[in-house]
């Protein structure tokens, strides 16, 4: 039986919420051509205000969602974290994640505040945008703190849809070998190197992968279906307890339902879908039903 999007409730573990002025800057960047006049990214389907974004997720049967955001320069992470704290007070269904900039002098102080006082679940790192390696020594005290508290990092460290010198599996392994007890969610299945990240889960019980923008039923990323294949259904069956549904909302160039269609087309057992769409996230983030 092939299920439909509305057959499930969702915990979306790859949702972004920024202060409105930063959201606008990000959307403008996506839609602006690069220096050669080529499209840099894609059009954004959901350029809505904060309340409208939350309300839309509710219409899609999303019961909880993350607050992924990131700092792209020095001395703004603390301000973004304070905005996120106020957001989560207004929307208790939010799964609070903060941000950090490795060059901030007070980074350990404000990370400790959001984890211990504000009860955030962890941090989002977007290495493609933030331009630092996952094994950057400036982050070691942050990693050690998160290990001590048992908290999480969602890390964009893969090579899709674009890459730079800071992303890729080899850099990720340098970090996780030094911090094997760090709880990590790898965004986008670590694409395009998804097979390597799947195998790494055999070694690290605290490593999870999210599905954001991977199972899209058309050629969103340049390399998909040209020189590599999507992860096959057997991988999802084998690692069903370690996969988290994510959409990348609202920064997507298609309707929200498309973020589940490719997964649903695999015709997995209903129990596996429940794990991927909600139960795995409910377990690791301690979300009650």
Highest mean pLDDT (candidates 98-102, 159-163, 219-223): 98-102
Q: How confident is the model at residue 230 (pLDDT cuts 50, 70, 90)?
A: confident
pLDDT beyond 80 at 116:
yes
Report the candidate in 171, 114, 105 with the shortest Cα–Cα distance to residue 145.
114
Residue 229 has a pLDDT of 75
Domains annotated for the chain, with CATH where assigned, are 5-285 (3.20.20.140)
Q: How confident is the model at residue 241 (pLDDT cuts 50, 70, 90)?
A: very high
Q: How confident is the model at residue 161 (pLDDT cuts 50, 70, 90)?
A: confident
pLDDT digits (tens, 9 = 90+) for 51-66: 999 999 999 999 999 9
Residue 166 has a pLDDT of 97
Residue 289 has a pLDDT of 82
Cα atoms in the Cβ-side hemisphere of radius 13 Å centred on 211: 33
| DSSP-based three-state secondary structure for 207 | strand
pLDDT digits (tens, 9 = 90+) for 21-56: 999 988 887 777 766 666 566 788 999 999 999 999
pLDDT beyond 80 at 133:
yes
The burial of 162, by beta-carbon neighbours within 10 Å (0-12 exposed, 13-18 middle, 19 or more buried), is given as exposed
Percentage of the chain modeled with pLDDT above 70? 93
Mean pLDDT of 96-123: 98
pLDDT digits (tens, 9 = 90+) for 171-187: 999 999 999 999 999 99
Q: Which two tokens stand for residue 182?
A: 């760090």
Of 38-52, 92-106, 260-274, minimum mean pLDDT range: 38-52
Q: Which two tokens stand for residue 250?
A: 């609202």
């Amino acid at each position: 039986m092939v299920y439909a999007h509305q057959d499930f409730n969702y915990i979306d573990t790859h949702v972004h919420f920024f202060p409105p002025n930063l959201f606008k800057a990000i959307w403008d960047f996506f839609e602006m051509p690069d220096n050669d006049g080529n499209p840099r990214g894609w059009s954004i389907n959901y350029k809505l205000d904060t309340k409208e974004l939350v309300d839309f997720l509710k219409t899609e049967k999303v019961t909880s969602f993350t607050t992924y955001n990131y700092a792209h320069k020095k001395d703004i992470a603390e301000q973004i974290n304070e905005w996120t704290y106020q957001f989560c007070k207004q929307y208790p269904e939010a799964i609070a994640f903060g941000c950090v900039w490795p060059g901030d002098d007070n980074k350990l102080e404000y990370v400790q505040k959001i984890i211990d006082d504000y009860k955030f679940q962890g941090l989002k790192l977007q290495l493609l945008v933030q331009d630092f390696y996952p094994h950057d020594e400036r982050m070691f005290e942050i990693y050690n703190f998160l290990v001590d508290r048992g908290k999480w990092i969602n890390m964009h460290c893969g090579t899709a849809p674009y890459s730079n010198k800071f992303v890729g599996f080899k850099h990720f392994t340098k970090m996780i070998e030094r911090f094997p007890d760090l709880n990590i969610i790898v965004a986008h299945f670590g694409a395009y190197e998804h097979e390597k990240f799947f195998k790494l889960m055999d070694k690290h019980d605290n490593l999870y992968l999210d599905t954001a923008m991977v199972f899209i039923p058309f050629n969103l990323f340049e390399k998909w279906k040209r020189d590599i294949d999507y992860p096959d259904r057997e991988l999802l069956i084998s690692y069903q307890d370690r996969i988290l549904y994510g959409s990348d909302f609202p920064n997507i160039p298609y309707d929200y339902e498309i973020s589940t269609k490719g997964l649903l087309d695999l015709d997995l057992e209903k129990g596996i879908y429940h794990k991927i769409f909600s139960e795995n996230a409910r377990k690791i983030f301690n979300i009650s039903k």
